[in-house]
């Protein structure tokens, strides 16, 4: 990372990017210990106000900060995450500390080893300062309200009456409120894209298998992915660079690494962007439409070739539901059969997990056969376009203090790209970048960019260019 001018003060420090903090550390404007203390205090004090903190790791973090300062003193530079604090969703094991999976029955669960991704970041000298709240069991079985979490409903920093989004709610809220510069989350079917959109932060869901899941709670072996929530597309690249890599102990590992190099990526004018006008004009709730129209105009201004397209016609919801529920039933079989499932906070989740036991092998295999057809259809789709773009969510965040409104909103019969993109792209194991693209009534809205497998650099380059022309990712909630 190049040396440069840093102008960080007490007000801008909580919302600084990884790159800005790195410059300040290397220029010795701030020490890693000072930075760690600053963010630890902020997370420990403000985290509980948003129900975002699961467990403070301030003590260990302080020691790690001292080690980094020693490295920096001797000019031992170990990469862009060196000395920078972060938080991790509480489904990632941290040795000797509780890993609760967001659920009361696992409140005292302690593992002897770190999750692989925690170890990878430790070797990059990143500093873990806390574990962050999540929806219990990452939402397995489905849930009916934001309060389906050991910490209670995770509140949106832009307006505490609203939810931060699930299931990586703590990471979304903590980054948005400036409690951590970045945070690890996970996605099975939308759990990074949703909180990124609701909280106005940038989220990256990597290609399936690019980041090891060893030491992470399993929900669905063939769908689970570990990703990151940050301030900017650039930060996503810096974090993924350290997180990615093969792992012989993760059966789903792609055995690929990731080298962050957006500056050397192809010109945006060479890219073909698949989109559909109705995703921006007809599908969003009416108050959101003008902001999404502006976002689409910005995308068009980037100079890529815009190609009107739509997703192949498949029952994506049914397919992903059968696979996710069948695999979750297998993962949590003992937990469900023992009756411990009844201790969860959300009754509809309890019912959903019990119901997941009724899927047959036939249901699962039929869904997996359809999934192979979907993957093949997407392979063909990406022969004609390089990136798909659509709203991340068509509605604003849900209220945090009441059950979700289950009434299906009136949407057009005709589908474009966005209606099924989260489920379809997760079924195909494709990477996605979600970033803020506007505000409606003081609450953020977001876009999602999806590409073929292992095109994270392309998505990040596109996101960087979008963020160079907008300032939504730089706006701060009043804390």
Contacts of 221 (CB under 8 A, 6+ apart): 251, 252, 327, 331
Which of the residues 6, 89, 131, 212 is marked catalytic? 89
User: How many CB atoms neighbour CB 413 within 10 A?
Assistant: 4
Distance (Å, whole) CA 342 – CA 429: 32
Contacts of 22 (CB under 8 A, 6+ apart): 1, 80, 81, 82, 83, 84
- Residue 408 buriedness (CB in 10 A; 0-12 / 13-18 / 19+): exposed
Which of the residues 6, 167, 197, 425 is marked catalytic? 167
**123 strand-pairing partners:** none
Please say if 425 is a catalytic residue: no
Which of the residues 191, 212, 220, 425 is marked catalytic? 191
User: How many CB atoms neighbour CB 445 within 10 A?
Assistant: 27
Please say if 197 is a catalytic residue: no
When computed from its CA atoms, the radius of gyration of the chain, rounded to whole angstroms, is 21
111-130 core/surface letters (b: 16 or more CB in 10 A; e: else): eeebbbbbebbeebbbbbbb
Do 145 and 153 meet the contact criterion of CB atoms below 8 Å apart?
yes
Distance (Å, whole) CA 226 – CA 205: 7
User: How many CB atoms neighbour CB 66 within 10 A?
Assistant: 12
Please say if 191 is a catalytic residue: yes
Point out the residues that are catalytic: 89, 167, 191
């Amino acid at each position: 990372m190049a040396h440069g001018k840093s102008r960080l003060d007490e007000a801008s420090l909580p919302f600084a990017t990884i790159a800005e903090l790195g410059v300040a550390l290397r220029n010795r404007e701030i020490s890693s210990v000072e930075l760690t203390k600053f963010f630890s205090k902020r997370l420990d004090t403000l985290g509980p106000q948003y129900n975002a903190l699961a467990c403070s790791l301030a003590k260990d973090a302080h020691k790690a900060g001292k080690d980094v300062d020693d490295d920096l003193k001797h000019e031992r530079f170990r990469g862009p995450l060196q000395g920078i604090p972060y938080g991790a969703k509480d489904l990632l094991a941290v040795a000797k500390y509780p890993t609760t999976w967001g659920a009361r029955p696992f409140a005292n669960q302690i593992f002897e080893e770190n999750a692989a991704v925690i170890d990878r970041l430790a070797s990059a000298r990143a500093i873990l300062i806390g574990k962050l709240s999540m929806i219990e069991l990452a939402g397995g079985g489905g849930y009916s309200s934001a309060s389906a979490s050991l910490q209670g409903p995770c509140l949106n920093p832009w307006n505490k009456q609203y939810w931060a989004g699930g299931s990586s709610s703590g990471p979304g809220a903590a980054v948005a409120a400036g409690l951590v510069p970045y945070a690890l989350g996970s996605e099975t079917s939308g759990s990074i894209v949703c909180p990124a959109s609701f909280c106005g932060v940038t989220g990256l869901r990597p290609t399936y298998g690019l980041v090891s899941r060893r030491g992470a709670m399993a929900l669905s072996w063939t769908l689970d992915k570990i990703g990151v929530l940050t301030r900017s597309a650039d930060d996503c690249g810096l974090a993924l660079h350290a997180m990615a890599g093969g792992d012989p102990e993760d059966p789903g590992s792609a055995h690929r690494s990731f080298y962050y190099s957006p500056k050397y990526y192809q010109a945006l004018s060479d890219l073909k962007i698949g989109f559909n006008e109705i995703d921006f004009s007809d599908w969003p709730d009416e108050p959101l439409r003008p902001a999404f129209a502006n976002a689409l105009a910005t995308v068009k201004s980037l100079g890529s070739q815009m190609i009107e397209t739509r997703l192949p016609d498949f029952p994506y919801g049914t397919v992903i539901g059968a696979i996710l529920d069948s695999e979750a039933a297998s993962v949590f079989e003992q937990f469900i059969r023992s009756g411990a499932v009844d201790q969860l906070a959300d009754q509809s989740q309890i019912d959903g997990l019990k119901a997941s036991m009724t899927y047959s092998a036939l249901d699962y295999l039929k869904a997996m056969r359809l999934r192979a057809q979907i993957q093949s259809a997407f392979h063909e789709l990406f022969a004609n376009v390089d990136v798909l773009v659509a709203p991340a969510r068509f509605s604003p965040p849900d209220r945090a203090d009441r059950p979700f409104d289950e009434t299906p909103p009136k949407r057009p019969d005709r589908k474009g790209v966005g209606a099924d993109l989260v489920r379809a792209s997760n079924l195909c194991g494709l990477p996605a970048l979600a970033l803020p693209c506007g505000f409606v009534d003081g609450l953020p809205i977001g876009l999602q960019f999806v590409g073929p497998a292992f095109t994270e650099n392309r998505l990040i380059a596109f996101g960087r260019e979008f963020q160079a022309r907008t300032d939504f990712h730089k706006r701060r909630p009043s804390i």
